[in-house]
């Protein structure tokens, strides 16, 4: 069985620092997804440079096709040692999962990764190896559908130390929190955001250390397709609508003209919901044969803005998941549900948008799709865009 490996992370800077001393690099190479979480010693610029160097070296070597064992050996041998503390300047966790479910993990001086299987902590196999005097924990295993790997820097178990908790949060309580907030429908990013938000609260909103959570989740393929705007050639209306309607998974139609094309093809009426969930966003509609009907450019413009917030590395706000307006519903399908996204983008100009008081034209439409595609790919989604 081929799996889809979803990734997501959140990083919170230490109070008063402009740069985070933790670094996450995510790369896809030769059918395998790899996440590297490096934690530079200390904080600020120095820690940022060291963690970035560590994560970049590993990910660059991986992208060049070198074995992960070679990468680890290179890092372990080249990491400098702090003369005062006698510890490496950067710790790291590397997790690599292939599409057929083979996983390899290396952990060096970071808090141990937590694996949730069916929502419960799962004890994965660990082999202890000493390389150049440094102790590495290595894991080789087969993953299962729904597995959630949660990696974090020591800012998480140390959360609240001397503030809300005398000894900090500690690993065992972090695990309990992950179990209590687990939901099988949560994306990797949402899982990371939930844990980071609790850690931030324990710090009373001022993290005493760089705090990073990186998550990899094993999922099945879930497709979402959006038809946005009519084709530039009206003779292609039916052909494009047919192609859209024959895609698998969730189907979303955005735009008045577009929804009329699909409505005619299906022979179904559009039923408009008059409940304005958000006064700034036009109401949604329903139509048998598709999952959601929305207004076009205004709604997707809000989705674009929402997507910039969702992918922000320090965002822990998940309130949008509870909202019922068209933009939030589309964002939920795209960023929580989907692994694969298809955009069917029409290039026809909308006469309603030629009013000089409404600066919405084709270029705005293309910009929305461009930004959404980029943000979806940042979260590891596979995106396909067709222009008609």
CATH number at residue 245: 3.40.50
Q: What pTM was computed for the model?
A: 0.90
Q: How confident is the model at residue 78 (pLDDT cuts 50, 70, 90)?
A: confident
Cβ within 8 Å of residue 223, ≥6 positions away? 247, 248, 249, 250, 338, 339, 340, 341, 342
pLDDT digits (tens, 9 = 90+) for 179-235: 999 999 999 999 999 999 999 999 999 999 999 999 999 999 999 999 999 999 999
Domain boundary among 169, 193, 219: 219
At which of 219, 244, 279 does a domain end?
A: 219
132-136, 294-298, 353-357: range with lowest mean pLDDT: 353-357
Domain carrying residue 39: 4-219
Domain total of the chain = 2
**Residues 6+ away with beta carbon under 8 Å from 235:** none
Q: Quick check: 93 pLDDT over 80?
A: yes
Judge if 231 and 192 occupy the same domain. Answer: no
Q: Decide if pLDDT at 352 tops 60.
A: no
pLDDT 10s digits, 20-57 = 999 999 988 888 899 999 998 878 888 888 898 889 88
Position 319 pLDDT exceeds 80: yes
The residue from 164, 184, 219 where one domain ends is 219
167 pLDDT above the threshold of 90: no
Same domain for 281 and 251: yes
Rg (CA), the chain: 23
Range of weakest confidence among 66-75, 94-103, 182-191, 247-256: 66-75
Q: Are residues 258 and 338 in the same domain?
A: yes
Distance separating alpha carbons of residues 212 and 10, to the nearest angstrom: 6
Q: Closest by alpha carbon to 107, among 38, 9, 201, 20?
A: 38
Q: Are 100 and 166 within one domain?
A: yes
What is the longest distance spanned by two Cα atoms in the chain?
75
Helix (H) or strand (E) holding 300: helix 297-311
> What gap in Å lies between CA 16 and CA 18, rounded to an integer?
7
Q: What is the mean pLDDT of the chain?
A: 90
94 contact partners, CB below 8 Å, separation of at least 6: 34, 35, 36, 37, 58, 68, 71, 72, 105, 106, 107
Please tell me whether residues 179 and 296 are part of one structural domain: no
| Sign of the four-CA dihedral 103, 125, 75, 208 | positive
Read off the tokens for 4: 């889809």
Q: Are residues 187 and 296 in the same domain?
A: no
Residue 340: which pLDDT band, with cuts at 50, 70 and 90? Answer: very high
Whether the predicted pLDDT of 152 surpasses 50: yes
What are 362's two structure tokens?
Answer: 């084709």
Q: Both 164 and 64 in a single domain? A: yes
Length in residues, the chain: 388
Question: Quick one: 184 and 246 in the same domain?
Answer: no
Task: State whether residue 64 is helix, strand or coil.
Answer: coil
Q: Which of 278-282, 298-302, 376-380 has the highest mean pLDDT?
A: 298-302
CA angle 191, 194, 198 (to 5 degrees): 145
């Amino acid at each position: 069985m081929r799996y889809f490996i979803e990734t997501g992370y959140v990083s919170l800077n230490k109070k008063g620092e402009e740069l985070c001393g933790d670094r996450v690099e995510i790369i896809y190479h030769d059918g395998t997804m790899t996440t590297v979480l490096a934690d530079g010693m200390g904080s600020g610029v120095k820690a940022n440079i060291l963690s970035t160097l560590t994560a970049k070296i590993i990910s660059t070597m991986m992208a060049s096709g070198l074995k992960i064992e070679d990468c680890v050996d290179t890092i372990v041998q080249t990491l400098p040692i702090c003369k005062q503390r006698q510890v490496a300047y950067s710790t790291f966790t590397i997790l690599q999962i292939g599409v057929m479910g083979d996983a390899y993990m290396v952990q060096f001086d970071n808090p141990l990764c937590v694996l949730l299987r069916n929502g419960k902590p799962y004890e994965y196999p660990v082999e202890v190896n000493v390389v150049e005097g440094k102790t590495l924990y290595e894991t080789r295993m087969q993953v299962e559908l729904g597995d959630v790997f949660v990696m974090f820097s020591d800012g998480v178990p140390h959360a609240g130390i001397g503030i809300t908790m005398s000894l900090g949060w500690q690993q065992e309580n972090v695990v309990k929190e992950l179990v209590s907030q687990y939901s099988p429908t949560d994306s990797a990013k949402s899982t990371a955001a939930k844990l980071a938000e609790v850690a931030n609260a324990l710090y009373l909103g001022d993290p005493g250390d760089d705090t990073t959570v990186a998550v990899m989740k094993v999922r099945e393929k879930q497709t979402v397709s959006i038809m946005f705007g009519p084709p530039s050639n009206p003779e292609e209306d039916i052909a494009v609508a047919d192609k859209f309607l024959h895609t698998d998974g969730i189907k979303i139609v955005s735009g008045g003209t577009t929804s009329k094309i699909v409505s005619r093809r299906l022979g179904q009426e559009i039923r408009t919901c008059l409940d304005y969930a958000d006064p700034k966003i036009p109401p949604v509609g329903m139509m048998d044969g598709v999952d959601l009907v929305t207004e076009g450019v205004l709604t997707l413009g809000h989705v674009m803005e929402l997507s910039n917030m969702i992918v922000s590395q320090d965002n822990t706000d998940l309130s949008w998941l509870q909202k019922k307006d068209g933009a939030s519903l589309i964002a939920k399908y795209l960023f929580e549900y989907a692994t694969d996204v298809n955009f069917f983008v029409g290039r026809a100009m909308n006469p309603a948008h030629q009013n000089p008081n409404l600066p919405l034209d084709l270029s705005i439409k293309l910009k929305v799709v461009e930004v959404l595609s980029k943000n979806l790919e940042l979260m590891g989604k596979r995106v396909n865009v067709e222009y008609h």
